[in-house]
Amino acid sequence: MLPLSFSVSLLLLLSSLSMQALALQGRGLQAVQQRRRLLEDQLMAAAQTLAGQLQRQHRCLLPLADQAWAWAGAACASPGQLAALQAGQGWRLLHYRPLQGEGELLLQSSAGGPAAAFRLRWQQADPQAPPQLLGVQELGLRGVAS
């Protein structure tokens, strides 16, 4: 009788350990997902802030790649303003690449980790006038090599 009760006890112990391991794994996964959502929210807020600054003060930079901002954008942004556009509180601009009527923006948290891509949509009715920003679209997180 003793071996049977010992076997049942061992089986119950192993079952409870398996259930506990599954619960801990689920909690770990929830924590990772929460951190990811927080990072996405922070980078979306940064993209909207940057888009707002471009719209209000530096529209002439929208059709230019970020590498050209320093020399071609000097007419509408000082070096200090350009530095503020390339790094804000908790984020930094990895690149901005304009396309036809839109631009792809890649931002990364100052702490590192994955970057988030965004599409800025803008229109320029008159080639002589600065473009008008229409919206920001989130494209998702991207892995970035350090």
Tell me: the pLDDT tens digits for 51-83?
A: 999 999 998 899 999 999 888 767 788 889 999
Please classify residue 44 by burial: count the beta carbons closer than 10 Å to its beta carbon, then call 0-12 exposed, 13-18 middle and 19+ buried.
middle
pTM here?
0.77
- The size of the chain, in residues, is 146
Q: How far is CA 12 from the centre of its chain?
A: 46
Which residue ranges make up each domain of the chain? Answer: 2-142
Q: What is the mean pLDDT of residues 83-96?
A: 92
Neighbours of 114 (CB within 10 A): 15
Distance in angstroms (rounded) separating the CA atoms of residues 119 and 105: 6
Percent of the chain with pLDDT over 70: 95
Tell me: the pLDDT tens digits for 111-141?
A: 888 999 999 999 988 888 888 999 999 999 8
Q: What is the mean pLDDT of residues 29-38?
A: 91
Is residue 90 within 8 Å of 42, Cβ to Cβ?
yes
